[in-house]
Amino acid sequence: MARARALLRVFIAVKVDEPSLVARVRQLQEDLTRVGLKAKLVEPENLHITLRFVGEIPAEKVEALRQKLREVRHRKFSMLIKGVGAFPSISRPRVLWLGVDEGSAELSQLASMVSRAVDSLRLGLSKGSEEESFTPHLTIARLKAPLSPEARRIVENLAEAVFGQQHVDFFYLFKSDLSPKGPVYTVIERYALE
């Protein structure tokens, strides 16, 4: 029997690792947990803004993708993380996220460039609807149950709250390994912005 080709689950993202910003996110997660939030929290070391989720592709295609992403040219920029929201809505939340205020246009432009690079490789992936309507956001929790009234109040009160600034000097190609404790992200390559 032929051995199955190794598939790697990959995505392209900007890390959110500014210490003061990560501390604010962690504080919000703790506050929500304290008032009964039932969710899988995104670990501080995994905080990121996805530019493009690629999915599972053969290892040799990952090498082609590594090379292609080196052609992406974009200037460095800064983003302001502001506001809390939920997908698909606050009344039926499955994901809690923080928004991007300043820097949103630059993230969208970078995501578009990255998507063009991915699509040019014809990896046989179906285009997800998120590409057509890219909304920069930072996922902080995946909910297992509806928001408690207290958690909902916290989220609604922080709809316009500023969490902090993050300089974007790099974007990354990540490998994602799913484990019982949650995903483990490994950097395959880091790409410097100009």
Please report, for the domain that includes residue 179, its CATH number.
3.90.1140.10
Provide the domain count of the chain.
1
* 74 annotated active-site: no
138 domain residue, yes or no: yes
Q: Which residue has the tokens 């599972």?
A: 56
Q: Assess whether pLDDT exceeds 80 at residue 127.
A: no
Residue 89 lies in a domain: yes
Residue of 15, 48, 61, 152 marked active site: 48
Mean pLDDT throughout 155-184? 95
Q: Is residue 2 part of a domain?
A: no
The domain in which residue 121 lies consists of 7-192
pTM of the entire predicted model: 0.91
Examine the pLDDT at 192 and tell me if it is beyond 80. yes
137 a catalytic residue: yes
Burial degree of 89 (CB within 10 A; 0-12, 13-18, 19+) = exposed
**For residue 163, what pLDDT band results from cuts at 50, 70 and 90?**
very high
- 87 is a domain residue: yes
Q: Of 98, 137, 168, 172, which residue is the catalytic one?
A: 137
More confident residue, 178 or 52: 52
Cis-peptide into 88, omega within 30 deg = yes
